Every structure is written in structure tokens, then in C-alpha cells.
């Protein structure tokens, strides 16, 4: 018996009709197949691809970001005053910028911190100089973190750095000016979906919101807060500071319509502003290119397994906390930072590395020490980082047992620029380096014209065999860690 409504023609469809009519299992399989195809098409954005004009506009605005590779993230707000200790309770790890939430501090008590915020040692030019010396090309400041305090002059609330503190200076404005003078790009971090200060901020029943002050808040409250406060504040940032980047953070509170509304308002006010993927939440986008953003933000300190085929950025911290935490001594080494940078860049990503200044306005010394070391490395090896793209493979594991340290430290990362391949060796090899990915069998088309090591004047010999490219090692190390071979191709 023919199934009503199922009109199919053509040989494959006749077969499908036969199966449909003759087997229950086949019927189920067919339905499943149709569902899978539909979901693949849906998730890859079938029918919703950006237009050629949209792609060209994105290409123009993302260029600087794609080439920059390395930026400074700054978590600075009222939380820098407790700095990891609240009423003698010491938080040794965790995010110090979450103090209001961790200790369930009532708004009335927390807001008293504004009256004590007086970072008299803050010097925007000095912060920018630290970033530049480290080789960073852009800066992103927390203009409003989850605590709800605005680190910029705002007409929408007196709870801001100019109107509510003895400091009375607009730190955001000063940083924007200092960045512009030094040729750095500037980005505003803004927490739309989570605001512990405002009754409407909690909005729904999400567990990490301020339910100690506002137990009864509802989704409609969030809608009002979004419309009357958060979105207008983002517009204020765009109009007053003209940021190159908007860095949204966190949970999936907004409806798709609200994401669209926010996105359109940004595009209207500042078409060139780069937007990160957390505009719609923390989850990794289900399709590429993702809508409403120019690049993907990975999880905190999360380095992707492989290049996603779209620009991305890792927000990384040097210790556990992003905000200043006097008790958190869990620092990663400068060497580890360089390794992470090489890993990220070899997969087409950017590294947004955080500092958490004190309430006096000082970038902590352990951060400065590390950034100075990274900068010394970048001075020699920066050409293997800036403006590069991914190569055929992002890396290669070295043979265990070779070299003067642990095998993992000898892994290599690759980046490429035109007819040049950079091989970033994490360890110093004893005798020679064998780059298996560049063997004649693996890459028969690659013909090496010349070989050198960045920062070294010594002659390097390279011989390409079936199993790999063997490179000699200079007598002197050009830097402390992560040595870069530059291979120029014919
Ligand atoms: O909750 C925040 C956290 O405090 C910090 O700002 C990081 C940086 O990526 N973002 C959130 C967690 O993903």
C-alpha cells in the first residue's frame, strides 16, 4: 500500500519507496538517514552562508587580528582590592575576580569597594610599554566584569570608575589613548550575560548568578536589563572609545534574537570592530564560519587539538587567577608561555595572555618578569609568529630519548609565510634535528633552497631524505628556549 503523501520518482527514490513499503527496519533506517542529512545541512549552515560582501568585509576587519597573534588581556576591577583575601579568608587559587560570588558578598557591602579604589600608580603608557616589550600587538581590558562595575565613564550608571571612586580617572580612556599612540589595537571585554550587581543581571535560574541578593529575578528582568542597560553600555563603549575589538564573555543567557540585535547594533556603530564568539555563549560554535562573530574564543587556557579552519584565540592566564590574587603563586614559566604561543600559532590561533594588576595600578612583578623573557624571545623569533599561517601539519613529535631533556620538550611546531616554513623546536637538539614531515616521501613537492636558524649567524646544513629533513645544529644557542629553523623553499 502506498504511503499517503510520499510522492517519489526516479530510480534511487523508487528503491527507497520499495524499502519504505516492505520493511519496518528499513523504514526506520531511512527516517534516521533523512534526519542525519538534515542535521548535517543545518549544522553546516546550509542556506545561511555569508554573502560575498559579508565575507569581504570580515576579511578586511580580521586582517590585523589574524597577523597580530599575541595580545595582552587585563583583568582589572574592584576585585583587585581584596586580591584573593576576603575578611582573612585566603583564596589560594580560583578566580579572584569571582570573589563577590564565592563569598556571596551582598551588593551593599561589595559596592563599598568603589570608595576605596584609588590606583594612584596606574600609568597607561607604562602598561602599554610592558605589552609592547613582550611583543604583544593588542590589549583587551575588562571594562565590566561579572561584578558589574564599569571601568569607564558611563552615563547609564554612577557605579563607574570616574563617578564612584576617589580616583576619578577614566582608565579605559587612558588605555585607549596610550594604545593608539603606541600602535596597539584596543579591545573591550564586556560581561553582558552575568552581572552580580544588578537585580536584573541574574535574569534566570542559572546557578552562578547573584541569588543571595536577588532570589526572585526572572527571565523578563534579564530582557529589560539587556535592552536598557547592557546593550546601551556596549553602544557607549563603541561610540566613546571606538574599540577595535569587542570581547564578550560567558553564559548563554541571550536569546538568538538578542544576539542578533546586539550584533546589528555593533555593526551599525562600528562596522570594523572585531567580535569574539562568546557574544553567543561559551560553547564552541557548531558550524564554521560561526554567525555573529569574527573569531572563536576557546576555553580558558584551552589549546585546540588542531586548526579549526577559522581564526581563534586562547584566553590564557599566567597563574590560576585572571584578576590579581596575592595568594596565587601557581605561575607558569616563561618557557611554558613560549611553548603555548608556538603551539597556538601553529594551529592558526592567537594567544591573549592575561595580567591582573593590583588595586594600586601595578602589573605584578612575576608577570612582568615572564613578559620580559617572552619579549626577548620574540625579538629574535617574532618572524616565525607574526603574520604567519598554518602549514600542512601543525607539529611533530620528536623521537623519545633524543636531546638534553624530556622527549615532549623536543616536539616541533610549524608555521608558514609565503615560501618560508618555520620549524619551532621546543628543545635544543644534541646532534641534529630530523623533521619527518619534510621527508621526500611525505612532501615530495617541497624543495628547500636555504636553511638558517633565527638569531644565529652559523651555517646550517639540511639534507632531505625519504624519512625526513636532517638539519645540523649550531654551536651557540641564539636564545634560551624554542629554537626556530627558517626554511626557504624554491
Ligand atoms: O568567568 C570568567 C573569568 O572570570 C574570566 O574572565 C575568563 C576569561 O576568559 N572568562 C570567564 C570564564 O570563561
Quick: pLDDT tens for 422-440. Answer: 999 998 887 889 999 999 9
Better-predicted residue by pLDDT, 62 or 446: 62
pLDDT for res 369: 98
> Is the Cβ–Cβ distance between 364 and 358 less than 8 Å?
yes
**Ligand 1 atom, smallest distance to 299 CA:** 13
Give start-end residues of each CATH 2.60.40.1180 domain in the chain.
Answer: 395-489
Distant-in-sequence, close-in-space partners of 267: CB < 8 Å, separation ≥ 6: 273
What confidence category does residue 128 fall into, taking pLDDT thresholds of 50, 70 and 90?
very high
Distant-in-sequence, close-in-space partners of 121: CB < 8 Å, separation ≥ 6: 360, 361, 362
Angle between helices 334-346 and 365-381 (to 10 degrees): 50
pLDDT for res 397: 85
Whole-Å CA distances, 209 to 79, 84, 101, 154, 251: 17, 20, 8, 23, 10
Q: Is the pLDDT of residue 33 over 50?
A: no
CA of residue 209 to ligand 1 center, whole Å: 14
Q: Sign (positive/negative) of CA torsion 198, 203, 209, 214? A: positive
Pocket of ligand 1, candidates 282, 322, 323, 324: which has the most ligand atoms within 8 Å of its Cβ, to mutate?
322
Question: Can you tell me the distance from the alpha carbon of 27 to that of 15, in angstroms, rounded to the nearest whole number?
Answer: 12
Give me the mean pLDDT over the 455-466 stretch.
Answer: 96
Residue carrying the nine cell digits 633524543: 402
CA of residue 96 to ligand 1 center, whole Å: 11
State the Cα torsion 295-300-304-307 to the nearest 10°.
Answer: 20
Q: Is the pLDDT of residue 180 over 70?
A: yes
CA of residue 44 to ligand 1 center, whole Å: 28
**Ligand 1 atom, smallest distance to 194 CA:** 1
Backbone angles phi, psi at 198, to 5 degrees: -100, 140
The mean pLDDT value of the chain amounts to 88
E-strand spans in 70-224? 70-74, 85-86, 89-90, 138-144, 185-190
CA of residue 143 to ligand 1 center, whole Å: 13
CA of residue 99 to ligand 1 center, whole Å: 13
SS3 of the chain: helix, strand, coil, percent, to 5: 35, 20, 45
**Ligand 1 atom, smallest distance to 317 CA:** 8
Backbone angles phi, psi at 314, to 5 degrees: -105, 120
pLDDT for res 46: 38
Q: Sign (positive/negative) of CA torsion 339, 344, 346, 350? A: negative
Give me the mean pLDDT over the 410-416 stretch.
Answer: 92
Better-predicted residue by pLDDT, 29 or 195: 195
pTM for this predicted structure? 0.89
Could you say which architecture CATH assigns to the domain 395-489?
A: Sandwich (2.60)
Question: Can you tell me the distance from the alpha carbon of 456 to that of 477, in angstroms, rounded to the nearest whole number?
Answer: 8
Lowest mean pLDDT among 15-29, 55-69, 72-86, 87-101: 15-29
Topology at the third CATH level for domain 53-384: TIM Barrel (3.20.20)
CA of residue 45 to ligand 1 center, whole Å: 28
**Ligand 1 atom, smallest distance to 282 CA:** 13
pLDDT for res 23: 55
pLDDT for res 209: 83
Q: Ligand 1: residues within 6 Å at CB?
A: 95, 97-98, 249-250, 282, 300, 315, 322
Written as nine digits, the cell of 74 is 587585563
Amino acid at each position: 500500500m502506498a504511503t499517503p503523501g510520499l510522492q517519489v520518482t526516479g530510480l534511487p527514490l523508487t528503491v527507497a519507496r520499495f524499502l519504505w513499503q516492505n520493511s519496518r527496519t528499513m523504514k526506520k533506517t531511512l527516517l534516521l538517514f533523512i534526519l542525519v542529512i538534515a542535521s548535517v545541512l543545518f549544522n553546516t549552515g546550509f542556506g545561511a552562508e555569508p554573502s560575498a560582501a559579508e565575507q569581504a568585509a570580515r576579511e578586511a576587519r580580521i586582517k590585523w587580528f589574524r597577523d597580530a597573534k599575541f595580545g595582552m588581556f587585563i583583568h582589572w576591577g574592584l576585585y583587585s582590592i581584596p586580591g584573593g583575601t576576603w575578611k582573612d579568608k585566603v583564596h589560594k587559587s580560583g578566580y579572584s575576580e569571582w570573589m563577590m560570588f564565592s563569598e556571596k558578598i551582598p551588593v551593599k557591602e561589595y559596592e563599598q569597594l568603589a570608595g576605596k579604589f584609588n590606583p594612584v600608580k596606574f600609568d597607561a603608557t607604562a602598561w602599554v610599554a610592558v605589552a609592547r616589550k613582550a611583543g604583544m600587538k593588542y590589549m583587551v581590558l575588562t571594562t565590566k566584569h561579572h561584578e558589574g562595575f564599569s571601568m569607564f565613564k558611563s552615563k547609564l550608571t554612577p557605579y563607574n570608575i570616574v563617578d564612584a571612586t576617589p580616583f576619578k580617572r577614566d582608565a579605559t580612556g587612558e588605555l585607549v589613548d596610550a594604545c593608539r599612540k603606541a600602535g596597539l589595537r584596543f579591545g573591550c571585554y564586556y560581561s553582558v550575560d552575568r552581572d552580580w550587581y544588578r537585580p536584573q543581571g541574574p535574569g534566570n535560574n542559572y546557578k552562578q548568578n547573584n541569588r543571595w541578593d536577588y532570589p526572585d529575578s526572572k527571565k523578563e528582568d534579564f530582557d529589560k536589563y539587556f535592552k536598557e542597560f547592557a546593550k546601551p553600555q556596549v553602544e557607549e563603549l563603541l561610540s566613546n572609545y571606538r574599540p577595535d575589538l569587542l570581547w564578550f564573555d560567558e553564559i548563554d543567557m541571550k536569546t538568538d534574537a538578542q544576539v542578533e540585535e546586539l550584533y546589528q547594533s555593533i555593526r551599525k556603530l562600528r562596522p570594523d570592530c572585531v567580535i569574539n564568539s562568546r557574544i553567543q555563549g561559551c560553547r564552541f560554535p557548531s558550524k564554521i564560519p560561526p554567525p555573529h562573530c569574527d573569531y572563536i574564543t576557546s576555553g580558558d587556557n584551552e589549546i585546540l587539538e588542531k586548526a579549526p579552519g577559522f581564526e581563534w584565540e586562547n584566553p590564557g592566564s599566567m597563574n590560576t587567577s585572571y584578576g590579581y590574587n596575592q595568594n596565587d603563586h601557581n605561575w607558569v614559566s616563561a618557557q611554558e608561555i613560549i611553548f603555548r604561543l608556538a603551539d597556538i600559532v601553529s594551529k592558526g590561533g592567537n594567544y591573549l595572555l592575561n595580567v591582573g594588576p593590583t588595586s594600586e595600578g601595578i602589573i605584578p612583578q612575576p608577570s612582568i618578569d615572564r613578559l620580559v623573557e617572552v619579549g626577548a624571545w620574540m625579538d629574535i623569533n617574532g618572524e616565525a609568529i607574526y603574520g604567519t599561517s598554518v602549514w600542512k601539519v601543525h607539529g611533530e613529535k620528536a623521537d623519545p630519548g633524543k636531546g638534553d631533556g624530556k622527549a615532549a620538550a623536543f616536539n616541533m611546531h610549524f608555521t608558514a609565510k609565503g615560501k618560508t616554513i618555520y620549524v619551532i623546536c621546543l628543545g635544543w637538539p644534541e646532534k641534529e634535528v630530523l623533521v619527518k614531515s619534510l621527508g621526500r616521501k611525505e612532501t615530495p613537492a617541497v624543495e628547500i633552497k636555504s636553511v638558517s636558524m633565527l638569531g644565529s649567524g652559523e651555517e646550517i646544513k639540511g639534507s632531505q631524505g625519504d624519512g625526513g629533513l636532517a638539519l645540523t645544529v649550531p654551536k651557540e644557542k641564539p636564545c634560551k628556549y624554542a629554537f626556530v629553523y627558517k626554511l626557504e623553499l624554491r
